[in-house]
Amino acid sequence: RRSDPIEFWEYEGPWHLFDPAEVNAVVPLPSRALATKQAGIAQHVSQMERRRYDLAGVALARYRAVTLPEVRLAGFGRSEIDLGEAVEAFRRVVLSPFRTGRARP
């Protein structure tokens, strides 16, 4: 019987963008991680046949690093948060465990 909450993180990608208000978890990507991400995407032929998905993914990561500090984290016109060159944006969701069995009085 599971009593712990279930947590999952929804990933934002170029074809599935979040409204900035939905982003509630941000992970900075150092240059090396960004290069690894781009190389990994390039290995998926299906993602590269139609469009340059690798360029779109990197562009989104850089865009979010620039815009999220003002739009979502610190507030408009404030710049004290520096997320670096690129970030991954997520929507973290926590679900309560399912209850089974008889209802308690």
Q: Is residue 32 part of a domain?
A: yes
Residue with the larger pLDDT of the pair 1 and 60: 60
What is the model's pLDDT at position 88?
Answer: 93
Q: Is residue 24 part of a domain?
A: yes
Rounded average pLDDT over 93-105: 66
Q: Which residues of 23-34 are buried (b: 16+ CB within 10 A; e: fewer)?
A: beebeebeeeeb
Q: Is residue 104 part of a domain?
A: no
Number of domains in the chain: 1
Query: Of 66, 61, 70, 69, which Cα lies nearest the Cα of 90?
Result: 61
Kindly state the percentage of the chain with pLDDT values over 90. 33
Find out whether 86 and 61 touch, Cβ atoms under 8 Å: yes
Structure tokens at 100: 């089974």
Residue with the larger pLDDT of the pair 58 and 98: 58
Structure tokens at 25: 């978890």
- 37 pLDDT band, cuts 50/70/90, is confident
The residue range of the domain holding 42 is 6-95
The pTM score is 0.74
pLDDT at 64 exceeding the cut of 60:
yes
Q: Which residue has the tokens 């309560």?
A: 96
